[in-house]
Amino acid sequence: MSQPSGTWYDTLTSTPVLIATAVGVSFAAIFAASSSKTPQQVKEQVKEVKNGVVNAADAKGKAAQAGASIMSAPAADLAPPKDDPIPSSELSQYDGSDPSKPIYVAIKGRVFDVTNKPEMYGKGKGYNIFAGRDASKGLGMSSLDIKDAVPDYSSLNESQMNTLNQWESFFEKRYNVVGKVVP
């Protein structure tokens, strides 16, 4: 799989690694969720990122290289987007805690069906914070903090808005829109 360089995709795929470097979070857990890699490849990549990152430019280069093969590919078979109203009280049921129910993530009020990614959004998984709610603000801030997992993103600055828009575009290419959040 190859992606054009210098696009939002580069920025997106390199952002988590830069964040990780900054906050010192463990890479292993999240990389392990990336199913397209063998454990050895994952280990090597984790090692490379952990040891090799000395400055931001270097990190960005490595991340762009690694990123293009780490992020899941866009979906080829998306259904036409739906506009069904989904009350937020109902949305919260689709947070991955009941394996018999779908998992939904809302961005800017649009509800995406991420049921096929339980390893990321399921109960106890790294991105479960985004499941069953609209956490647009947190996405824009690259924050996994529960206090940022709210729909009101009006406080985001320009660069955070770009990040949010990139995530929105990422989801649009990968997940079916099943409705819109209503109060």
Kindly state whether residue 16 participates in binding ligand HEM, applying the rule CB under 6 A: yes
Q: How remote is the C-alpha of 73 from its chain's centroid?
A: 13
Contacts of 147 (CB under 8 A, 6+ apart): none
Kindly state whether residue 19 participates in binding ligand HEM, applying the rule CB under 6 A: yes
Smallest gap, in angstroms, from Cβ of residue 62 to ligand HEM?
12
Kindly state whether residue 31 participates in binding ligand HEM, applying the rule CB under 6 A: yes
Helix/strand/coil for 176 = strand
Nearest to 149 by CA among 140, 165, 160, 137: 137
Q: How remote is the C-alpha of 67 from its chain's centroid?
A: 13
Question: CA–CA separation, 153 vs 158, rounded Å?
Answer: 11
> How big is the chain, counted in residues?
183
Residues 140-169 that bind ligand HEM (CB under 6 A): 142, 144, 167
Q: Segment contacting ligand HEM (CB under 6 A): 20-28, 76-84, 91-99, 148-156? A: 20-28
Residues 65-124 that bind ligand HEM (CB under 6 A): 70-72, 114, 117, 120
Q: Which residues are near ligand HEM by CB under 6 A?
A: 16-17, 19-20, 25, 27, 30-31, 33-34, 70-72, 114, 117, 120, 127, 139, 142, 144, 167
